[in-house]
Structure formats: C-alpha cells, structure tokens
Chain A
Amino acid sequence: MSRSQHFLYGSRDSIPMIVGILPFGLIYGALASLAGLSLWQALGMSLLVYAGSAQFIAISLLTLGSGAVVILLTTFIVNLRHVLYSAALQPYVGGLPQRWRLPLAFGLTDETFAVVQRRYLARGMAEHGQWYHAGVALALYLSWVCSSLVGALFGQSVPNLAGWGLDFAMLATFIGIVVPVLRGSPQIAAALVAAAVALLCYAWPYKLGLMAAALSGIAVGVALERRALSVVVEEGAQ
C-alpha cells in the first residue's frame, strides 16, 4: 500500500479524537477573545503552541493578570507529561531523519500519542509508520486550529456545543485503546494505581495529578513485572 493510503488511514483513525477536540477548540477560541486576545493572537496560539490544556490555563492566567514568567512556568509544568510520550515513541521516531522528527514532535499531543502508539505497538515502523503518524498529527492539528478560529470569530454566538458532552468521544476512544491491553497483573495494577492516584490528586493544579498518577502506575507496573520475571528466572535456575 502507498504512503498516501497510510496517511489517510491515520487521518481516518483520528476521527473520534476530532469529535472530542472540536468543542474544546471552539471554547478555547471564545475564551481567548473574551480574555482580550486579538483574532490573530488567539489563532496564533493554537497554530504555534498547539497544546490545549496549556492554552486554556494561559488564557485564564492572562485574565487574572498573571505575569509572563508565571505563564511560561505553568506551560512547562502542564506539558511535562509529554516527555513520557516523547520517550515512549523515541524507539520508533528516533530513527527517522530530522525533517520527520521536528514536525512529529511539534504534533505530539495526548490524542496523537494515544492513536499512534497503538499502531507502533502492533506494527512498528513497517508499512510507512511515519506516514500514518503524519496523517494522525495533521488531522488533529487542523481540527484544533480550525475550531479555535471559529471559536475566536463567532465567540459567544457558537451554539451550546459544550452542553452535548462530545468530550465523551475521547474517553470512549481511550477506553477502547486501554482495555484490550490490560492482560496480566502488571498492566492491570498499573491501570488501577494510575486511576486511584488520579482520583486522589485530581485537585492538584497544572495537571500535576495526572503526572503523579502516570508515574505511580508505571512504577507499580515495572515493579510487578520485574518480580514476576525474577520468579521465572529463579524457577528456571532450580
């Protein structure tokens, strides 16, 4: 199959994520105009920063009159979880030339990671993996930018899209990705611990609860897997 076909597969597999992104982009655009950003600034932030959570927080900090240093520091902390995605995909993307790594890094959001890691896990770089990845990244980027623009242009006159709960599309997709992977106690324990810590720490600011939950889940998963492996090794030695 051709590169363009895999690119299109990537875009197609992004559709449920797009459903979830569009209302967020509209709300972001509307809030950005309310906060006093010009149309170009509101759009520019989506075009250049391309990080939903960080953009929302930056807008609310701007509204509160926070200084630039606070906003930049917040951006850093909120986006820190992307280091995990960068590390998890490095074994695949790391081998690509720079002209691929730069744009794929730019587009590495939660949603992009969720869709592409599944494909890399199943097939690695075979069959134009990077073109599939590019298809996902571009489809999600355009959804975010276009919905931000519409939100900034039409602001409050946008119909009550938030009230529909379209964000459930994203939850359903994440569930569909995670549940089939939950085979064996390390994976299940990682999920349970991540869920428990996420609930305990949900009030922490700047997505730090999410980061703590992810790291706890990973640590427990690794610990259980290592213990299981050492049991196997010991039994093998006897």
Chain B
Amino acid sequence: MNTWLLILGMALITFLIRYSLFALPDLRFAPVVRQGLHFVPTAVLTAIVVPGMLIPDGQHWALTMQNAYLLAGLATIAIAALTRHLLATIGGGLLVFFVLRGWLGQLPL
C-alpha cells in the first residue's frame, strides 16, 4: 500500500467528519439536539481533563502526592472557580505545576 494514498485517505476521512454538519447550512436542529449541543464543551473538555489529571501517562492511575498533574490540576480548578478569569487560571495553574514539578524533582534539568 502506497503511504501517500494512505495519508490522502486519512485526510479525506478526517475532513469529511469535521465538515459533516458545516455542509448543511440550512439544517435547523431539533430543540433537544440544540440543548444537547450546549453541553458539548463541558462534557468533552471534562472528559479530556480529568483522565489527564488522574492518569497522566494514559496507562496507570496516579493517585499519589507525587502526581503534579493531579495536585496542580486541583489548584487550577480552585483558581478558575475563584477568579473566573481564563488567563489568570492558565498562568496560575502553570506556575503551580512547574513549581511542584521542580520541587518534586520531576523536571529534566
């Protein structure tokens, strides 16, 4: 199998999935679907974040005090709840994360 054909096939499949509903400009969703779409960001992003904190390598649970992803993630959630400010959350969260990683000796220095 030609690798380029494979790449083109993957490109076509990926594009068609992403374009699927953009292709139907006149489509109006039923109310229940519209309601559901309001929950897409919350549901998808939470489903990415929480395993990212508890299973940072994608394989093993890391419920330990050595897990900077978990500890800094909790701190980031607290910052977000208190400030409701995106940049403060990202900046504060990253700061906590790298301080923790440095403190735990987990940075490749």
Contacts and interface: CB of A to CB of B under 8 A. Distances in A.
Interface in A90-107: 90-91, 93-96, 101-102, 104-106
Contacts of B32: 222, 226
A173 to B, nearest CB: 5
Contact of A194 (B29, B44, B53, B90): B44
A198 B24 CA distance: 31
A217 interface: yes
A167 B57 CA distance: 11
Contact of B25 (A94, A170, A191): A94
Interface string A27-39: 0000000000100
Interface stretch (A1-9, A70-78, A139-147, A149-157): A70-78
Contacts, number: 268
B4 interface: yes
Nearest to A48: B11
B22 A105 contact: yes
B42 A182 contact: yes
Select the residue from B18, B24, B54 with max chain A CB neighbours within 10 A.
B18
Interface in B1-55: 1, 3-11, 13-15, 17-27, 29, 32-55
Given A83-B17, A171-B49, A175-B80, A68 B6 contact: yes
A235 B87 CA distance: 42
B83 to A, nearest CB: 9
B45 A199 contact: no
A148 B19 CA distance: 24
A76 B17 contact: yes
Contacts of A37: 3
Contacts of B20: 83, 86-87
B51 A178 contact: no
B48 A210 contact: yes
6 cross-chain pairs, A with B, having the tightest CB-CB distances, nearest first: A217-B43, A176-B89, A172-B93, A179-B80, A163-B108, A213-B47
Interface of B: 1, 3-11, 13-15, 17-27, 29, 32-55, 58, 68-69, 72-73, 76-77, 80-81, 84-87, 89-90, 93-94, 97, 101, 106-108
Given A172-B76, A178-B41, A179-B84, 20 more contacts: A49-B7, A76-B17, A83-B21, A94-B21, A110-B44, A163-B108, A167-B52, A171-B52, A172-B94, A175-B89, A176-B89, A177-B86, A181-B41, A194-B46, A197-B47, A210-B47, A214-B43, A217-B43, A217-B47, A221-B38
